[in-house]
Chain A
Amino acid sequence: EAEVAQSPRYKITEKSQAVAFWCDPISGHATLYWYRQILGQGPELLVQFQDESVVDDSQLPKDRFSAERLKGVDSTLKIQPAELGDSAMYLCASSLVTGTDTQYFGPGTRLTVL
């Protein structure tokens, strides 16, 4: 069964350092999402891609976060510099098309900022 892949699974960093997360969606899925899930809360959308184009990044803190999906396949989310409040689970999801199609989630990257 096809799955969304993410790496690393765990990342510990010190504040002010740069971190990067990678996501490989299910093959053929045009839409890719990055969510942030703070402990005890539901996931919140950070950015949505349709192929290589950003569809929604209204909740992405653009002063420190960036995301790219250069060839419309895998994607990287970067934080520079990391802050203590960035400690969370970063989830990647993909769907075949945009709209009402089911979103499939990866295992997530758990980030701890010290």
Chain B
Amino acid sequence: QQQVKQSPQSLIVQKGGISIINCAYENTAFDYFPWYQQFPGKGPALLIAIRPDVSEKKEGRFTISFNKSAKQFSLHIMDSQPGDSATYFCAARRTGANNLFFGTGTRLTVIP
């Protein structure tokens, strides 16, 4: 049973465009929602994270939008660059737990 559902599975964006990756969850006990970026042969690296009391968080070109009532959150990458080409994972942590549930990943390709 997938605790966090992620879409799309793959995404191709032109350089300079906006990349949008979506995630949805059912468990209302989730209280921390990070996004990770993974390059081939490397482990995931924390990109940005949000808590459910905030509707949006921005760090540079990366923005998380959070809709608590819809139990959805998304990652927006503005001015996408070829160097952003990687696999992106959303994740969630349940209150009181010390592990993350990851989505299935989105492979982003930014075309020059």
Query: Are both chains from one complex?
Result: no
